[in-house]
Amino acid sequence: MSESLGGNEEISDWHKQVFSLGTDELGDGQVLFEWSPKGNYLAVAGSKRKVIILDRNGRAADEIQLPQPELPLMDSRASCCTHIKWDPSGEQLAILPSGNTVVFLWSAFSPGKEPSRIDTEFKEPSRIDTEFKSQEFSVLSWSKNGAYLAVGTVKGNLLMYSSRERKRVPYVGKHTKKIVSAVWNKGNLLAMAGLDRMVTITAGDTGETTQAFQLKGDPSEICVSDCKDDGYSKKEENDLTLQSGGRTIYIMQCMAEGDKPLELAFLEQYGPIQKHMWFGDGYILVGFKFGQIVVVSSHSREIGEEVHGGKYLDSLTDMAYCPALGRIAMGGNSSIRILDASGHEYMEVKSDAIDLSPNERVDKVGWSKDGQVLTVSTTSGMLYSYLAALPSIFDVHMTKVMYLTSLLEMSIVDIHKRLAPVKIALETEPAFCGLGPTHAALGMNNQVWFYRHGRVGTGELVNKRNYMGSVEAVRLNSTHAAVQVDGRVIVHPIEIELGRQMDEFDVVLPPQGQPQHITCVAISEHFVITGSKQGILSYFLVEHITCVDIFEQFVITGSKQGILSYFLVEDCSPVNEYRHDDGGLSRIFPQPSGSRLIFQDERGNICLFNPVNDQVLVTPPIGSRVENVVWDVNDPNVFVIAEANQLSVFLYSPVSLSGAKIDLIGTQVTAASHTPVVLSAGLLGCRLTNGSLDNVTLDTHRAINTTDAMAKTNLGQLRTAWDCAVQLRNTEAWTQLAHAALEMLDLDMAIASYRMLGDPSMVLSLEGIRQYEDKNLLSAHIMVLLERDYADAQELFLRSSVPKAALEMRKDLKHWSEALKLAETLDPDGIALICKEHAASLEMTAEYNNAKSHYQQALDALMGQAEDKELELACRSGIARTTLHMGDIRQGRTMALALNSVSLLKECGSILEGLQQLTEAGEMYEKAGMYERAASIYIQTKNYAAAAPLMAKVSSSKLHLQYAKAKETEGRFSEAAVAFEAAGDMDSVVRLCLEQLNAPQRAYAIVRKTRSVEAAALLARYCLQNQDFAGAVEFLLLAGQMDQAFDIAQGHNEMDTFARIVQSSAKTADYNRIAQYYEGRGEFDKAGDMYASSEQYPRAVQLYLKVGNNATLEKAIGVVERTKSHQLE
Nearest to 835 by CA among 846, 851, 822: 851
| Residue 540 pLDDT | 40
Structure confidence by residue, pLDDT tens digits, 1035-1056 = 777 777 777 877 777 777 777 7
Checking if the pLDDT of 544 tops 50, the result is no
Residue 1027 burial class via C-beta count within 10 angstroms: exposed 0-12, middle 13-18, buried 19 and up: exposed
| Residue 528 pLDDT | 63
Checking if the pLDDT of 543 tops 50, the result is no
- Mean pLDDT value across residues 906-922: 83
CB 27 within 8 A of CB 339: no
| Residue 120 pLDDT | 43
| Residue 108 pLDDT | 74
Supply the Cα-derived Rg of the chain in whole angstroms: 48
Query: Which segments of 281-418 does DSSP mark as H helices, in order?
Result: none
Confidence of residue 2 (pLDDT cuts 50, 70, 90): very low
Mean pLDDT (the chain, rounded)? 80
| Residue 46 pLDDT | 94
Confidence of residue 1124 (pLDDT cuts 50, 70, 90): low
Of the two residues 600 and 688, the one the predictor is more confident about is 600
Checking if the pLDDT of 243 tops 80, the result is yes
| Residue 10 pLDDT | 37
Checking if the pLDDT of 827 tops 90, the result is no
Of the two residues 732 and 402, the one the predictor is more confident about is 402
Highest mean pLDDT among 382-396, 567-581, 686-700, 1037-1051: 382-396
Confidence of residue 294 (pLDDT cuts 50, 70, 90): very high
Percent of the chain with pLDDT over 70: 86
Checking if the pLDDT of 208 tops 70, the result is yes
Cα gap 255→253, rounded to integer Å:
5
Structure confidence by residue, pLDDT tens digits, 427-486 = 888 888 999 888 999 998 889 999 998 877 788 899 999 998 888 888 888 888 888 887
Cα gap 480→571, rounded to integer Å:
12
- Under the phi-then-psi rule, with left for phi > 0, alpha for psi from -120 to 50, and beta for the rest, what region is 219? beta
Buried b vs exposed e over 814-852: b needs ≥16 C-beta within 10 Å? Answer: ebbebbbebbeebbeebbbbbbbbbbbbbbeeebbeebb
Q: CA quadruple 1028, 1029, 1034, 1038: dihedral positive or negative?
A: positive
| Residue 1014 pLDDT | 79
Residue 260 burial class via C-beta count within 10 angstroms: exposed 0-12, middle 13-18, buried 19 and up: exposed
> Which residues lie closer than 8 Å to 729 by C-beta, 6 or more apart?
756
Of the two residues 1006 and 818, the one the predictor is more confident about is 818
- Mean pLDDT value across residues 89-115: 78
CB 442 within 8 A of CB 482: no
| Residue 553 pLDDT | 53
Nearest to 990 by CA among 964, 971, 1040, 1001: 1001
> Which residues lie closer than 8 Å to 969 by C-beta, 6 or more apart?
none
Confidence of residue 1003 (pLDDT cuts 50, 70, 90): confident
Instruction: Report the alpha-carbon angle 299-303-305, nearest 5.
Output: 115
How far apart, in Å, do the first and last CA atoms of the chain sit? 109
Confidence of residue 245 (pLDDT cuts 50, 70, 90): confident
Picking from 283-297, 523-537, 1054-1068, which range would have the lowest pLDDT averaged per residue? Answer: 523-537
- Mean pLDDT value across residues 116-124: 43
- Under the phi-then-psi rule, with left for phi > 0, alpha for psi from -120 to 50, and beta for the rest, what region is 1023? alpha
Residues in a beta bridge with 444: 447
| Residue 376 pLDDT | 95
Per-residue DSSP letter, 338? E
Cα gap 747→738, rounded to integer Å:
9
C-alpha atoms less than 13 angstroms from C-alpha of 228 in its C-beta half-sphere: 19
Of the two residues 539 and 319, the one the predictor is more confident about is 319
Of the two residues 959 and 702, the one the predictor is more confident about is 702
Distances (CA, A) of 279 to 190, 285, 341, 363: 20, 7, 10, 21
What are the DSSP calls for 1055-1088, one per residue?
HHHHHHHHTTT--HHHHHHHHHHHHHTT-HHHHH
Per-residue DSSP letter, 421? E
Confidence of residue 287 (pLDDT cuts 50, 70, 90): very high
Query: Which segments of 971-1028 does DSSP mark as H helices, in order?
Result: 973-983, 986-995, 1000-1010, 1013-1025
The bridge status of strand 400-406 relative to strand 394-397 is antiparallel
Cα gap 573→858, rounded to integer Å:
67
- Note the pTM of the prediction, 2 decimals: 0.58
| Residue 555 pLDDT | 58
Checking if the pLDDT of 181 tops 90, the result is yes
Structure confidence by residue, pLDDT tens digits, 946-990 = 777 777 677 677 777 777 777 777 777 777 777 776 777 777 777
CB 809 within 8 A of CB 784: yes
| Residue 196 pLDDT | 92
| Residue 538 pLDDT | 60
Question: Kind and range of the H or E element at 616?
Answer: strand 615-618
Confidence of residue 864 (pLDDT cuts 50, 70, 90): low
Instruction: Report the alpha-carbon angle 101-106-110, nearest 5.
Output: 150
CB 275 within 8 A of CB 287: yes
Structure confidence by residue, pLDDT tens digits, 777-806 = 888 888 888 888 888 888 888 888 889 988
Structure confidence by residue, pLDDT tens digits, 319-331 = 999 988 889 999 9
| Residue 293 pLDDT | 93
* β strands within 209-350, DSSP E: 209-214, 219-225, 228-229, 232-233, 239-244, 248-253, 262-265, 273-279, 283-288, 292-297, 306-311, 318-322, 327-332, 335-340, 347-348
